[in-house]
A and B are shown apart, each in its own frame.
Chain A
Amino acid sequence: GQQLNQSPQSMFIQEGEDVSMNCTSSSIFNTWLWYKQDPGEGPVLLIALYKAGELTSNGRLTAQFGITRKDSFLNISASIPSDVGIYFCAGQRGGSQGNLIFGKGTKLSVKP
């Protein structure tokens, strides 16, 4: 089936560091979304992107919809401890009535 390749799979952050993660696909998507999931909870929408090239911010988070429509990235600036969790990208193809394809997630943990 359709796949989104999300990287890195996991990373460790130190408070104050900037964080980057990305998502790529072999197919074109019309919409890219980024979600965060805390342990034991459902995913929460962070940012939605609807146009190729679009750059959108939500506080310390910035996400971009790639020009080729086959990729997206998420940046977190000046990370804080509550940023830990699993971040998922999700894409939607045209005509799929809102159905989303999810990446496998990037797990953010605090550096020991």
Chain B
Amino acid sequence: NAGVTQTPKFQVLKTGQSMTLQCAQDMNHEYMSWYRQDPGMGLRLIHYSVGAGITDQGEVPNGYNVSRSTTEDFPLRLLSAAPSQTSVYFCASSIAGTSAYEQYFGPGTRLTVT
């Protein structure tokens, strides 16, 4: 199993550009989520999904869209990038139920918006 994979690993965008961060998992996990990590901060939840076709907002959803058309994939879309979105983005997945809290994280995408 590859676990949770994220692409790209690094990305530089100009303000106003759009892009999609990819996340895939091969563990058949129902629950997937996106976090952002800023210097000196913990991880903050952006969006999450409890299964294909179901998504919901986390703590910091503004400026981001998600969709979940398959169990395996959970892309994060930045519609119009802003410098405040410069961050490291992590995707995570877990099985449903009690162990939904035992999340497995991908390696991260480091995004810089200029």
Measured as residues with beta carbon below 8 angstroms from the partner, the interface class of chain B is 20 to 34
Instruction: Flag whether A112 is at the interface (Cβ < 8 A).
Output: no
- Find the residue from B33, B103, B106 having the highest chain A CB count within 10 A: B103
Decide: B58 and A99 in contact? CB cutoff 8 A: yes
Instruction: Flag whether B98 is at the interface (Cβ < 8 A).
Output: yes
Instruction: Flag whether B48 is at the interface (Cβ < 8 A).
Output: yes
Min Cβ gap B17→A in Å is 24
List, in ascending order, chain A residues with CB within 8 A of B94's CB.
98
Instruction: Flag whether B31 is at the interface (Cβ < 8 A).
Output: yes
Min Cβ gap B40→A in Å is 6
Instruction: Flag whether B43 is at the interface (Cβ < 8 A).
Output: yes
List, in ascending order, chain A residues with CB within 8 A of B58's CB.
99
List, in ascending order, chain B residues with CB within 8 A of A40's CB.
107-108
Q: Footprint of B on A, CB under 8 Å?
A: 1-2, 4, 6, 31, 33, 35, 40-45, 48, 50, 88, 90, 92, 97-105
